[in-house]
Structure 1
Amino acid sequence: MALSPSAPTLTLFCGLPGSGKTTLARRLEAAGDGIRIATDEWQAMIGVPHADSDFHESLQVVLYRHALTLLRAGVDVVLEDGLWTAAERRQKFADARACGARVRFHVFEVDHDTLWERLRRRNAAAAPGSAPLTEDDLRWAEGVFEPVTAMELALVHEYVRHTGGTGPADGAARSTR
């Protein structure tokens, strides 16, 4: 099914902590590319500690449902989740299609040393909405993370690979449809 030119866009991210997801999501929101939904920030605004993972997961589900409602209403959404597993990504792609939305996918492929240095700086800054992470936390996340496959990239309308640059998009956008 071909999408209309006015179809909304769901912008998704796949990357580990410190890879640049929040920085890019904020830039995209500021540029008018959609309503940004960031579970970590909502949780901090509500005043629930980031360590409360049960609350985090529940809030993430509620915010995701809201994102789908926005898409169905024709509103572009920038969903700031890490999407570490292939199953999560496939579900998000399928949900977007069911809402008649395009998928723009940002894939962050950043090496461990760069991630850890960024996380150390973020931890030191203690910015509101950011959870402090240890290097052990990062190693755990790296163990859970499933790299994006070419088959997954074929399921989206456009993707950009980011390799650690500091610009809004250090990779070139690729359209798959």
Structure 2
Amino acid sequence: MTTLFLTVGLPGAGKTTRARQLATEHSALRLTPDEWMIPLFGEPEADGKRDVLEGRLLWLALEALKLGSDVVLDFGCWSRDERSAIRWLAELVGASCRLVYMPVDHETQRARIARRQSATPDQTFPMSEADLLHWRTLFEEPDAAELDRHEVGGPPHGWSDWLEWAADRWPSLV
């Protein structure tokens, strides 16, 4: 059975470093939107294009899983719904999904981001203190049940299934 490794955490948590390690350890395909956004669009968000890019990378991940390759998705996935949808999609193609949560305290996060912006400004994007604090309020930390790979529940109210929800969240998925 193939495995989708899904990194979860805020910017500066060490997700990309861990994703690279996992890709090497498991001979897995690593997909990281941050490495595509600036080369393709010159900025990290580009008017909703990140959602489109993530959808295509998620589609590619599912195709690779079907072909027998493990995949590491370095997305961050701040919401429980995003993580549930991706786990459901992985199961749909016969793969398992392992969440790799990378917690980070605010001081460590700030220091890592400052180092990254100083060392490789062309490979990152500016993040203010206000951004970091705001993003912490948006991040839904995974609980023990989610990390222990319990069953994926149903989609949020108003959605018939996770595929419908995911196709709305990542418009280029299907």
Q: Do the structures match in fold with TM over 0.5?
A: yes
Contact 1:43 1:129 in 2 (8 A): no
Q: Secondary structure at the match of 1:16?
A: coil
Q: Give the partner amino acid of 1:59.
A: L
Contact 1:41 1:129 in 2 (8 A): yes
Contact 1:14 1:108 in 2 (8 A): yes
Are 1:23 and 2:3 matched, yes or no? no
> Partners in 2 of 1:143 and 1:136 — Cα distance?
11
> Partners in 2 of 1:59 and 1:107 — Cα distance?
22
- Which residue number in structure 2 is paired with residue 133 of structure 1? 127
Which of these residues, 55, 73, 81, is aligned with residue 87 of structure 1?
Answer: 81
Which of these residues, 28, 32, 42, is aligned with residue 36 of structure 2?
Answer: 42
Identity %: 35
Are 1:75 and 2:91 matched, yes or no? no
The residue correspondences of 1:84-163 to structure 2 (distance < 5 A) are 84-155=78-149
Instruction: Determine which structure has the larger helix proportion and give its number.
Output: 2
Deviations 1:61-120 (A, max 9, x none): 111111111111111101001010110111111111111112222111111111111111
> Partners in 2 of 1:129 and 1:61 — Cα distance?
21
| Distance change (3 Å), C-alpha of 1:135 and 1:53 | farther
Q: Give the partner amino acid of 1:145.
A: F
Post-superposition, which runs of at least 4 consecutive aligned residues in structure 1 deviate over 4 A?
none
Q: Secondary structure at the match of 2:38?
A: helix
Q: Give the partner amino acid of 1:43.
A: M
Q: For residue 140 of structure 1, report the CA deviation from its aligned partner.
A: 1.4
> Partners in 1 of 2:23 and 2:46 — Cα distance?
27
> Partners in 1 of 2:105 and 2:87 — Cα distance?
26
Contact 1:8 1:71 in 2 (8 A): yes
Cα RMSD over matched residues? 1.8
Runs of 5+ consecutive residues of structure 2 not aligned to the other structure:
152-174
Q: Secondary structure at the match of 1:131?
A: coil
The structure with higher relative contact order (CA 8 Å, sep 6+) is 2
Q: Secondary structure at the match of 2:99?
A: strand
> Partners in 2 of 1:129 and 1:29 — Cα distance?
20
> Partners in 2 of 1:106 and 1:147 — Cα distance?
12
Q: For residue 126 of structure 1, report the CA deviation from its aligned partner.
A: 2.6
> Partners in 1 of 2:132 and 2:5 — Cα distance?
24
Q: Secondary structure at the match of 2:98?
A: strand
